[in-house]
């Protein structure tokens, strides 16, 4: 139904990525994907997303092993015990931790690893799994979108827009604090509203103290510390993280006296629980592959953003935000989204007299925030699958809060124009 078209591309020395040439969009020969080729794209998508898929399987296996040792439940009881009588304070603390991770390094797929312990925690608090997702995915994605330092969103977009890295940081930080504060507040409200009787004290009493539990939990915490250092300091990819969690699971199984066979069986159980999550990652990637093979991705970009040039400055900026929202559904990668759109929109904003900083902000608010609801975001779908929450359930829960945060994003754009950011 859509005409095939493409932009010319060149290698950008500053970002190290292939970016589009502004004004170079042109029609190309149609190459529609037939039904059989669309099905062929499914295994291609699985292979293309293979690193993430195997990370999910190995994370699921590692935490299944940790859970079978009993250490996970012991760790949650220890944490709850530290907040005796004030257990619900754990919720905002967890939210803030994920918000920082999102703001610093765009945490998404890594959240999948934390869903098993979060489910144990929410069960102990007497709140449903929905709160586990809300206090992890919500603040992490909000922190990523509003961040002044996220290298995968604002950092890359500012580089492509030829802006100093970290510029307008104070302005962004103010709205980051407001957005995260809002999300923490609504998560606390929903947790209190949904809370039933916490898990019985009998379950708590059955977990006798054992030095092995403490040692295994230290191992788990150390693994996440190494993961953070590896991502930020050593430029680790998904394969490094897979190896790290695989090692964690083996060591935890041996420390917990599961033996080699027990550890292997624990991994098998973990693979079963993460099978759907892994498949969803591959299916999400398949959607983009089909669009790319049909040569219509650039056509979508051209069709969304060309009309914006005819609008007044403020409406153009808000139109960019809405356009980024629409584009992020077929292109859920924030980095791929940036390299495709920023070279197109920067010249447009210059012609309109619109600040390049506002152009970057519109990308953050429209594209980054869309991760909260887009079904083509493989990480989100895998997290929901791991938490055994249907996408429809999550959408019904989150949509009003998503719209509220989007409204805050629109306010930040209008404020940036008014203040001359």
Cβ–Cβ < 8 Å for 172, 217: no
DSSP letter, residue 84: T
Residue 86 phi/psi, 5° resolution? -135, 40
C-alpha span between 271 and 382 (Å, rounded): 13
3-state secondary structure 299-360: HHHHHHHHHHHHCCHHHHHHHHHHHHHHHHCCCCCHHHHHHHHHHHHHHHHHHHCCCHHHHH
Q: Is 151 exposed, middle or buried (0-12, 13-18, 19+ CB in 10 A)?
A: middle
From its phi and psi, is residue 85 left (phi > 0), alpha (psi between -120 and 50) or beta? Answer: left
pLDDT for position 382: 86
pLDDT for position 175: 96
C-alpha span between 129 and 196 (Å, rounded): 12
Nearest CA among 347, 334, 281, 395 for reference residue 147: 334
Helix (H, G, I), strand (E, B) or coil at 406: helix
Nearest CA among 90, 78, 83 for reference residue 213: 78
214 Cβ neighbours under 8 A, 6+ residues apart: 71, 74, 78
- For residue range 130-173, list pLDDT tens digits in order: 999 999 999 999 999 999 988 888 888 898 888 888 889 999 99
Helices (H), 200-308: 201-205, 211-233, 238-255, 259-293, 297-305
C-alpha span between 331 and 218 (Å, rounded): 39
Q: Is 379 exposed, middle or buried (0-12, 13-18, 19+ CB in 10 A)?
A: buried
Q: Which two tokens stand for residue 107?
A: 């945490």
pLDDT digit string (tens) for the chain, length 421 residues: 889 998 888 887 776 777 778 788 889 988 888 999 999 998 998 888 888 888 888 888 888 898 888 887 787 777 777 777 788 888 999 999 899 888 887 888 778 878 888 898 898 888 999 999 999 999 999 999 999 988 888 888 898 888 888 889 999 999 999 999 999 999 999 999 998 866 554 444 444 556 788 888 889 889 888 888 887 788 888 889 889 999 999 999 999 888 899 999 989 988 887 788 778 778 888 888 888 899 888 888 888 888 887 788 899 999 999 999 988 888 888 888 888 888 888 888 887 888 999 999 999 999 888 999 998 888 898 899 889 999 999 999 999 999 999 999 999 999 999 998 8
Site of tokens 């999910």: 56
Cβ–Cβ < 8 Å for 104, 232: yes
pLDDT for position 249: 92
pTM of the model: 0.78
pLDDT for position 347: 84
């Amino acid at each position: 139904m859509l005409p095939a078209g493409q932009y010319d591309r060149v290698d950008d020395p500053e970002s190290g990525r292939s970016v589009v040439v502004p004004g170079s969009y042109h029609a190309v020969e149609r190459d529609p994907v037939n039904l059989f080729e669309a099905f062929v794209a499914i295994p291609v998508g699985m292979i293309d997303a293979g690193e993430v898929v195997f990370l999910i399987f190995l994370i699921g296996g590692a935490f299944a092993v940790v859970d079978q040792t009993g250490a996970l439940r012991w760790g949650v009881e220890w944490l709850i015990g530290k907040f005796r009588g004030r257990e619900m304070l754990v919720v905002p603390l967890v939210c803030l931790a994920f918000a920082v991770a999102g703001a610093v390094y765009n945490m998404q797929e890594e959240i999948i690893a934390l869903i098993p312990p979060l489910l144990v925690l929410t069960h102990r608090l007497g709140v449903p799994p929905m709160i586990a997702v809300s206090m992890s995915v919500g603040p992490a994605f909000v922190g990523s979108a509003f961040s002044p330092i996220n290298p995968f969103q604002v950092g890359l977009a500012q580089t492509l827009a030829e802006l100093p890295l970290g510029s307008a940081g104070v302005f962004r930080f103010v709205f980051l604090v407001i957005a995260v504060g809002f999300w923490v507040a609504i998560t606390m409200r929903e947790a209190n509203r949904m809370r039933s009787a916490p898990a019985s004290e009998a379950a708590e009493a059955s977990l006798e103290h054992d030095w092995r539990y403490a040692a295994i939990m230290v191992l788990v915490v150390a693994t996440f510390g190494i993961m953070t250092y590896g991502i930020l300091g050593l430029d680790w990819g998904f394969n490094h993280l897979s190896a790290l969690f695989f090692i964690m699971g083996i060591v935890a199984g041996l420390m917990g006296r599961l033996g080699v066979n027990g550890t292997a069986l624990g991994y098998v159980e973990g693979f079963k629980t993460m099978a759907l999550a892994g498949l969803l990652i591959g299916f999400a990637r398949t959607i983009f592959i089909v669009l790319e093979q049909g040569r219509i991705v650039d056509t979508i970009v051209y069709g969304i953003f060309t009309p914006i040039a005819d609008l007044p400055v403020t409406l153009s900026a808000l139109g960019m935000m809405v356009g980024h929202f629409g584009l992020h559904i077929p292109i859920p990668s924030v980095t791929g989204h940036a390299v495709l759109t920023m070279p197109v929109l920067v010249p447009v904003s210059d012609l309109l007299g619109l600040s390049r900083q506002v152009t970057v902000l519109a990308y953050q608010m429209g594209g980054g925030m869309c991760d909260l609801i887009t079904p083509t975001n493989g990480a989100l779908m895998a997290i929901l699958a791991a938490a055994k929450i249907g996408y429809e359930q999550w959408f019904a829960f989150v949509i009003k809060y998503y719209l509220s945060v989007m409204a805050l994003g629109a306010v930040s754009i209008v404020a940036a124009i008014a203040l001359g950011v």
